[in-house]
């Protein structure tokens, strides 16, 4: 975090958990937080479908990493990685059912002069966005790779994402809030 308390990188999971694969961005961020300890300056948020309501949480953040379902003419589960202006184009044309809110958020940041210096989008092509709470098999199978790639992107941007060791029962330790190494979390805004 900066001295003013503004994170330098925000990882924002987007999507509707009630529309199957549309919720993959939120699920990916939840799993990221369960499997990695994020270092100082990084905040991970469950942005759901809040759109413009997220403005105060991402304004003035130098680096923004969106995690979301991305509609493409590719097989379900295909990994998508975009940067810069390609993210805004994808938000306008290819994000799923909540895309208007994301477009409004990015436009609002640009209009107020608070647009991130570094903008990234990572996600998967959804198989279905029908009502339901389970991810499709194609997306569920690829989600671990997406989470790993998000952690790698965090590292590539100069921050830390340290894997949490497995507990004796094979699960990851549970953690939330701030810990001594500077892990900052806000989930379910």
Contact 32, 25 (CB under 8 A): no
**Structural domain span for residue 139:** 9-186
- Model confidence at 11, in pLDDT bands (50, 70, 90)? very high
Specify the CATH number for the domain of residue 173: 3.40.50.1450
pTM of the model: 0.84
Task: State what percent of residues in the chain have pLDDT above 90.
Answer: 56
Number of domains composing the chain = 1
Instruction: Flag whether pLDDT at 100 surpasses 60.
Output: no
pLDDT of 65 strictly over 60 = yes
Confidence grade of residue 78 (pLDDT, cut at 50, 70, 90): very high
CA distance 166 to 159: 22
DSSP state letter for 53: G
The reported pLDDT for the residue numbered 179 is 39
User: In the predicted model, is pLDDT for residue 51 greater than 90?
Assistant: no
Beta bridge partner(s), residue 36: 163
4 domain-assigned: no
Asked if residue 23 is part of any domain, the answer here is: yes
| Average pLDDT for 35-55 | 87
Domain membership flag for residue 120: yes
pLDDT at 14 > cutoff 60: yes
Residue 35 located in a structural domain: yes
pLDDT at 87: 87
Above 90 in pLDDT, residue 136?
yes
Q: Which of 51-55, 67-71, 86-90, 130-134 has the lowest mean pLDDT?
A: 51-55
């Amino acid at each position: 975090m900066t001295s003013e308390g503004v994170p330098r990188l925000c990882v924002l999971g987007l999507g509707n958990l009630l529309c199957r694969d549309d919720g993959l961005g939120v699920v990916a961020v939840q799993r990221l937080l369960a499997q990695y300890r994020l270092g100082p300056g990084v905040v991970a948020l469950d942005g759901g479908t809040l759109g413009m309501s997220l403005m105060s949480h991402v304004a003035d953040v130098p680096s923004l990493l969106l995690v979301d379902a991305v509609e493409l003419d590719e097989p379900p589960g295909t990994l998508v990685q975009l940067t810069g202006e390609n993210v805004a184009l994808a938000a306008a044309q290819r994000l799923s059912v909540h895309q208007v809110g994301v477009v409004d958020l990015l436009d609002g940041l640009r209009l107020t002069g608070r647009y991130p210096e570094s903008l990234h989008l990572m996600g998967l092509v959804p198989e279905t966005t029908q009502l339901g709470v389970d991810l499709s098999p194609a997306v569920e199978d690829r989600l671990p790779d997406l989470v790993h790639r998000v952690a790698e992107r965090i590292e590539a941007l100069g921050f830390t994402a340290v894997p949490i060791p497995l507990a004796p029962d094979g699960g990851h330790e549970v953690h939330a809030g701030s810990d001594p190494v500077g892990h900052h979390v806000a989930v379910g805004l």
